[in-house]
Structures are given as structure tokens and as C-alpha cells.
Structure 1
Amino acid sequence: MAVHWKLVVDCADPLRLAAFWAAALEYENEDHSALIERLLAAGLVTEDAVTEADGRKVWRHAAAVRHPEDPVDAATGVGHGRRVLFQAVPEPKQGKNRLHMDLHFGPERRDAEVERLRQLGATVLGTVEEPGSNHVVMADPEGNEFCVQ
């Protein structure tokens, strides 16, 4: 049986990074507000664990994005498919990523998408042209590298 998984990204500002990646991937921000409200009402979490964004309660320490076509648990807002979770950690990013995402737009869209991602807050780090590959290396707003093909 295949394993259910999610990609977890350590970061300083989960809400900011989730907003960037939701726009970059054309994913949806997960809405955990119903779960948060239930946990607050039951006294299982306190108000200092949450904040507000876009008029709803969100976790301070984590935010997630999911593919818009994948199923979601209505009771928790957690996606059951392709998703990325951003979690706050105290230490800053150090060195090169050991794992990164490649975004495949195709040669006809690549340059326009690089510019769109730059407008969203990404930085162009360089272009790689080698036999069998031609891609742009970029960094998200917190410096996590990814490639655009």
C-alpha cells in the first residue's frame, strides 16, 4: 500500500511562506478555523496559539497549502492529497537545501512564470543550461531554493 505523505518546510513565518507557495503553485490555503474554534472552546489550546488572517483564525506555528482538486476533511480543513505544510522553527535556514521542488511550466511559459514568481517575492539565483536541462534556480521569500523549468 502506498504511503500518504506531505512535504514539510521549516521556516520563520509560516503564514507568509504558505501565501507565497499557494500563489506559486496555484494551490489553496488550508482553512483550519473550524478545528481551531473547537479546540479553543474545549480549552485544549489557548488564544496565544492562534492569530487571524483573511478574517479567520489560523495557527501561529503552522500553515498548509493543498492542491485544489484533492479531497479535504471538512471537520479539520486538512487536505488528503498533495499538500505542503510550513512550520515555524527557531533557527534560520543554513546552507543549501537538501530537498527542493521543481516547477514544470514548459519552455513556452517558463520566462513568464519566473517573472510572476519574482513578483510574488521569489529571487532569481541563476540559470542552468546543460545537456538535457534548461532551468532557472530561484529562492522563495525565506531563501529556500527551487527550480523552474
Structure 2
Amino acid sequence: MTLHVKLVVDTADAPALAEFWAAALGYVVEDNSALIDSLLAAGRLPPAATAEHGGRRVFRGLAAIRHPEDPYEETTGIGTGRRILFQDVPEPKTVKNRLHLDVHAGEEGREETVARLEGLGARRVEEVDRGPAGHWWVMRDPEGNEFCVA
């Protein structure tokens, strides 16, 4: 049996980090505003569970991005394919991630991709050159989560 999975990232500001990663990966930030409006209208969601971000209503402390070519539910905005979810947590990040993303740009595109990600708010941490085993940059997203660009 094959299972459907998605990656969930703990955040301090889910909508902002979702926007960073959508721009970094070429993904789309999910628009759940129609779902939120219908839940509010039906009294199934308290207004305190929502917030305003980028001119639309969002779930407070939650955001998601999806691959632009993957299917999604038009009435909810929720992707049914490759997704990354972001959820606010009360505690700050304190140690190295135990899981991270590897962004594959290829030898020719690595420096250009690193520079583009820096322009979005990421920062370089360390360049790693293991010869035939690989060459990559360790970076941090705007909240300090480590990822690699190879």
C-alpha cells in the first residue's frame, strides 16, 4: 500500500513562510478563503480562528503550498497532490532540524538559485564540497530552518 504524505513545518508566521517557500520552489500558496467564508457563514468556525493576510482571509496560524500542476479541490483550495503545510507553534526554533529539504538546481544553476533564494530572504550558512560525492550550500530560510541547495 502506498500512502499519501505531506511535509509539515513548524513556524512562527505560517503565511509568511508559506509565501517564501512558494516563491523558492515555484509552488502556489493555497487559497482557502472560500472555505473559510463558508465555514464562518455556517457558524462552524469562530472568527478568532481566522486572520487577514495578503488581502484575504486565512486560517490563523496555518498555511499550505502546493505544486502548481497538481490537482486541488476548487471549493476548498486544498491541494490533493504534493504539498507542504506550515503551522504556527508557540516555541521558537532552538536546534538543528532533524529533517530538511534539498533543493536540486544542478551544477549550472546552483549559484543562481542560491542568489535568488537570498533575495527572497534566505541566507547562506556553509558551502560543502565533497568532490564526487556532491557539492551544495547549506542555507536557512527566513525563520532559520536549514535546507540545502545542490
Tell me the TM-score normalised to structure 1 length.
Answer: 0.97
Which is helix-richer, 1 or 2? Answer: 2
Query: Does 1:45 find its partner at 2:27?
Result: no
Residue aligned with 1:73, SS: coil
Across the aligned residues of Structure 1 and Structure 2, the Cα RMSD in angstroms comes to 0.9
Query: Does 1:92 find its partner at 2:113?
Result: no
User: How far apart are 1:31 and its partner, in Å?
Assistant: 0.7
Residues in 2 aligned to 1:73 and 1:15: alpha-carbon distance in whole angstroms: 20
* 2:76 matched residue in structure 1: 76
User: How far apart are 1:55 and its partner, in Å?
Assistant: 2.5
* 1:6 matched residue in structure 2: 6
User: How far apart are 1:47 and its partner, in Å?
Assistant: 1.6
Residues in 2 aligned to 1:61 and 1:22: alpha-carbon distance in whole angstroms: 17
* 2:56 matched residue in structure 1: 56
Residue aligned with 2:85, SS: strand
Q: Which one-letter code corresponds to 2:128 in the other structure?
A: V
* 2:139 matched residue in structure 1: 138
User: How far apart are 1:53 and its partner, in Å?
Assistant: 2.4
* 1:110 matched residue in structure 2: 110
Residue aligned with 1:125, SS: strand
User: How far apart are 1:75 and its partner, in Å?
Assistant: 1.7
Tell me the TM-score normalised to structure 2 length.
Answer: 0.96
Q: Which one-letter code corresponds to 1:14 in the other structure?
A: A
Counting matched residue pairs gives: 149
* 1:20 matched residue in structure 2: 20
Structure 2: any 5+ residue segments left out of the alignment?
none
Runs of 4+ in structure 1 displaced over 6 angstroms? none
* 2:129 matched residue in structure 1: 129
